[in-house]
Every structure is written in C-alpha cells, then in structure tokens.
Amino acid sequence: MDYSMNAWLLQALISKKIAVLTFYGGIGYNAIKTSSDLTGSYIIVEDPNGNNDFVLRDPVSLNVKNKSLKVTAGVRFKFGPIYLNGDYSIQEYNTLSVGLGVAVR
C-alpha cells in the first residue's frame, strides 16, 4: 500500500489573560491532500487449471482533498505549574480539543 498525506494550516491568534484565565481565539485556513493506493495483483478466484484465474490489478486508489476556513475559541486555566485548556474549532469537520500541561523550570 502506498500512502501519502500533505497538510498545512495558516492561523492568526489573539488572547487576553485575566488572573488564572487566558481566553483566546483565532481565524485560519487549512488544506489537506491525501492519497492511498493498493497496488499489485491479487488472485481472487483461482482456477485449478491455472487458465482462468480472476485477478485484480491495482484494485484501490483513493484521493481526498479538503480546504476550509477555521475559526477557533478557547480558554486556558493556570494552576501554578499545571495548565488545563480547551478549545472548539468550527471548520468543515468541527473539533473539540482539551489538554493538560505541566511547566518545568
């Protein structure tokens, strides 16, 4: 199987910190291109005489392209060296993300 993927995101973010809370938002544009190919020859039905085998050659080829605008809003909580964040992105496939981090100095 041959598989390739290419993706990029260009995004501008802005944030406002109030005590232990940081609110942030952003707007961006992303693009993805994926291709997947199953190559080769595959015997599906084998003839005992070897004359009339049913063979598939390069049976699968998938290509997907997607480009979309992305809008993100989120919040981060800071509890000493521990961070907890969550955000929601509106795009062709909406996304909810949560994270936990620890700052080591």
Closest CA to 69 of 28, 14, 12, 33: 28
pLDDT of residue 10: 97
- Taking the model in full, what pTM does it have? 0.68
pLDDT tens per residue, range 51-75? 778 888 888 899 999 999 999 999 9
Residue 25's Cβ-count burial label (10 Å; 0-12, 13-18, 19+) is middle
What is the structure's pLDDT at 53? 80
Task: Locate 35 and state its tokens.
Answer: 């291709």
- Measured distance CA(64)–CA(62) in Å, rounded: 7
Instruction: Tell me the DSSP string of 50-84.
Output: SSS-EEEES-EEEEEEEEEEEEEEEEEEEETTEEE
**Mean pLDDT of the 7-31 span:** 96
Whether 18 and 75 have beta carbons less than 8 Å apart is answered as: no
